[in-house]
Amino acid sequence: MKSWFITGASSGLGLSMTRKLLERGDFVHATVRRSDAMQDLAQRNGDRLKIIELELTDTRSLRQEIDRAFANGRIDIVVSNAGYGLFGAAEELSDAQIDRQIATNLTASIQLIRAAVPHLRAQGGGRILQVSSEGGQVAYPNFSLYHATKWGIEGFVEAIAQEVAPFGIDFTIIEPGPTGTGFGTALDRAPENPIYDDTAVGQVRRAIADGSFVIKGDVERSADAMITAGDAAVPARRVALGSVAYHNIERELSRRLDELHGQRDVAYAADRS
């Protein structure tokens, strides 16, 4: 029996994980943005589910809720899951949209981890699952700021994982491919500039609009894989979820490695004599 802290628990992967964990007898602290969310689960599960109404971009409130959760006992696994997608060519995005995307997807995830680490260290260890995306390794037109947050949080996790490993704290980055979570319908969209209609930007827009953008990932199976990652005796640093994510990440890493190998002489020539 484990205790979990999950952000973004009212829908998608967070909700599916919460349901499955409660069904097997675990305890869950679940953050939501609306107090009426998940009341049916609360009624059925009593004190094994603690619903926390929280705006994650409010760092002070976030720290207070993390402190309260750990004050009630050990938390084995923190799942940083909350986030959304911002859709539009980079120049189409408003400053406010950019600020909100970074504050929600990147800064809030960083502050959640920073708030949890002292408690995990004090209790002798624990695990953090950071939900990223295949978009933390690859990039699509129209998602520049979304990718900036996912590539950013992966870099942050790579560094802090080394810092806190001596204290028994480990990390797994979860990288789902396109999954039927409602992500697409919840996109924050920028006004479209027709100058991009005949470019890769327009192609992606049309693929999403006409349904030809392939979504193969299953929410329930992905949630099962995330729980397995949380339970693993020896954690993986990264877990790709779905065949689309696997193949896209494999292709992009291979391309980048080939390009690097082709630059060996240039790289070495930049050293001091």
- pLDDT for 181 equals 64
* Prediction pTM value: 0.94
**Residue-range domain boundaries for the chain:** 3-269
Beta-carbon neighbour count of residue 152 at 10 Å?
18
Whether the per-residue pLDDT at 27 is higher than 90: the answer is yes
Catalytic one among 16, 144, 150, 222? 150
Burial of 30 from C-beta contacts in 10 A (0-12 / 13-18 / 19+) = buried
Q: Which residue has the higher pLDDT, 178 or 70?
A: 70
216 counts as catalytic: no
Whether the per-residue pLDDT at 98 is higher than 80: the answer is yes
Confidence of residue 183 (pLDDT cuts 50, 70, 90): low
- pLDDT for 105 equals 97
Dist CA 161 CA 235 (whole Å): 12
| Buried/exposed code over 153-180 (b: 16+ C-beta within 10 A; e: otherwise) | bbebbeebbeebeebebbbbbbbbbbbe
User: Token pair for residue 231?
Assistant: 């339970």
35 counts as catalytic: no
Dist CA 222 CA 235 (whole Å): 17
146 counts as catalytic: yes
Q: What is the pLDDT of residues 112-157, one digit of tens each?
A: 999 999 999 999 999 999 999 999 999 999 999 999 999 999 999 9
Calculate mean pLDDT across residues 71-77: 96
> Of the ranges 10-14, 173-177, 198-202, 212-216, which one carries the lowest mean pLDDT score?
212-216
Dist CA 87 CA 66 (whole Å): 31
Whether the per-residue pLDDT at 5 is higher than 80: the answer is yes
Whether the per-residue pLDDT at 71 is higher than 70: the answer is yes
> What CATH number does the domain located at 3-269 have?
3.40.50.720
Q: What is the pLDDT of residues 34-69, one digit of tens each?
A: 877 788 898 899 899 999 999 999 999 999 999 999
Catalytic one among 132, 133, 144, 222? 132
Q: Do the strands 169-176 and 238-241 form a parallel or antiparallel pair, or are they unpaired? A: parallel
DSSP bridge partners of 29: 5, 50
Catalytic one among 109, 133, 144, 146? 146
DSSP bridge partners of 87: 189
Residue 24, φ and ψ in degrees, nearest 5: -95, 0
Can you say whether the dihedral through the CA atoms of 168, 174, 180, 185 is positive or negative?
positive
